[in-house]
Amino acid sequence: MNPIDWLIVGSYILAIILISVYVGRSQHSQEDYYLAGRSMASWKIALSVMATQVSAISLIGAPAFIALKIGGGLVWLQYELAIPLAMALIMFILLPIYHRCQVISIYEYLEKRFGGKIRTLVSLTFLISRGLGAGVMLLATSIVLGVCLGWDIYTTILLIGFISILYTTIGGIAADIYSDIIQLIVLWGSSLALIGITVSLIQWDAIDLTVKEIERLNIINFHATGFGDGQTFGFWPMLIGGLFLYFSYYGCDQSQTQRLLATPTLKKAQWALFLNGLFRFPLVLTYCAFGLLLIPFLHTNESFATMFKTLPPDYLVPYFLQSYVPQGFLGIVIAGICAASMSSLDSTLNSLSASTWRDMLLKFYKPMATVSHQRAVVLSRYLTVIWGVFCTGFAILMVGGSETVLELVNKIGSAFYGPIASIFVLGMTSRRSNETGAIAGLIAGVGINLSLWLFFEHVSWLWWNPIGFMATYLSGFGISFILVGTKASQKIEDSILNKEDLRLGTWIKLLYVFLLAAFIAMILFCVLMENQLIRMT
């Protein structure tokens, strides 16, 4: 990178910090710090949620998966098929009750509905798994970002960690949302520009793809089940397993759901999810198109392709940027990748701080309930710094660690997704369920998922989500019925779905129709694109 590139990257980082200072000046309560005063517009939340999902790992890993990785290809797009359906279910089941209960931490709902024990258990699970997971994500993004910047891994981790901690601590969730919006614009624009650059570099008259390269053009795989065949990238595990995964991640994970609570009304939160359900696929399709074009590019540029016989596939995009992207524009792309790295961390830090304050300190240390609003904001910022140092420190600790350890952290988190989502749904749909049943159900669901991991390795991890969900729900409902056998008391009426929630207005029905249409259109698009690409070869 030349001085112009560094100037662009530095200016971007400075702009993010200045934005955080500006929005932080108006934060006088925890609702301001954690929920932006519940004043965010739908489109801002939608863009922020989309940006968080487009991490540096996605932008760099997806093209590498499509163009280089063994077993890879456009099957990556199957990850997106369940998004519209998951958004519709969250809009229908979860959001009405979250907004009615006026919570800051979604785990507060669990105490309102069941009791304090299940709230503490689920919140602790979130804090531990998300804290460790954020460290792993920071390490993974820093590895590839270090290649782009030419820095060692420790410097990169410390830089990304420090900047993320700084602007998140100062500006809270509002700074995260505005920085995410800028990042999304830069990344989407950069992806489109990279497509144009790659098209200009391909020697189109020299293309003669091999059989293995043509196989990468397959998108929909109806034959892989994920049961016994050792395959994850099949239509059914990615549709059904992905549906439960996205439902849990977007709807029952504080790091994602917290932003949906930052809107003034339920309707605006539902609109935010609707927009995410429609526009995430075109965004993912953009950087997948970049990966698709890298297939013929590598085929016709053997000297460049030879490098990756020894280098990991995830280095493909960083080396492509260094070798072929014009200086000046390179700074914009690197700024976008830096932003994507920070975006994966900033919202997590804010949510970890929120859950620690609301679910732990406020619950178990009573003097916290009497502190002033301004003092509470200061303490919340301290918590953000503490979690930032923890995540950054864990990332540094894991440098040089085996892939097995990193995979272990991610898989432990995955074992809880389906069961935790099931606890929320159990509370919202069953009057008879109680705390004892919920805890027993959670233990049963997680236990079954861990058994699948340890003893049934040929079952795709995506199936853990629906299996764990159903095991938790059935166990929780059954044990609640056996031990108590009575309906919920009147005091929890606001914590369960009621007739008013089920009485859908015309506008929300239209949103559901559009999401269903988007789901069908995505499948048809994938099938038609696959046929067209193979026909062209």
Q: Return the pLDDT at 274.
A: 94
CATH of 3-414+489-509, one of 3.30.565.10, 1.10.287.1080, 3.30.460.10, 1.20.1730.10: 1.20.1730.10
d(CA 59, CA 291): 9
Q: Return the pLDDT at 490.
A: 47
**Per-residue pLDDT reduced to its tens digit, 177-196:** 998 898 888 888 888 889 99
In eight-state DSSP terms, residue 308 is G
Specify whether the CB–CB gap between 269 and 259 falls below 8 A. Answer: no
Q: Return the pLDDT at 211.
A: 64
HSE-CB of 17 using CA atoms within 13 angstroms: 12
Beta bridge partners of 227: 459
Is residue 400 predicted with pLDDT exceeding 80? no
Q: What is the pTM of this model?
A: 0.91
Q: Indicate the pLDDT class of residue 46, thresholds 50, 70 and 90.
A: very high
Specify whether the CB–CB gap between 395 and 161 falls below 8 A. Answer: yes
Q: Return the pLDDT at 530.
A: 82
Q: Return the pLDDT at 145.
A: 81
Average pLDDT of span 313-337 = 85
Q: Return the pLDDT at 323.
A: 87
**Lowest mean pLDDT across 136-140, 221-225, 403-407, 463-467:** 403-407
d(CA 173, CA 360): 20
Q: Return the pLDDT at 186.
A: 84
Question: What's the residue count for the chain?
Answer: 537
Is residue 45 predicted with pLDDT exceeding 80? yes
**Lowest mean pLDDT across 266-275, 493-502, 507-516:** 493-502
Residue with tokens 């900047």: 163
Beta bridge partners of 459: 227
Q: In Å, how far are 99, 424, 480, 485 from 118, measured between CA atoms? A: 20, 11, 14, 19
Spell out the residues 6+ positions from residue 203 whose beta carbon is closer than 8 angstroms to its own: 300, 301
Q: Return the pLDDT at 486.
A: 47
Domain ranges of the chain: 3-414+489-509
Which position has the higher pLDDT, 146 or 110? 110
Nearest CA to 463 among 266, 215, 225?
225
Q: Indicate the pLDDT class of residue 214, thresholds 50, 70 and 90.
A: confident
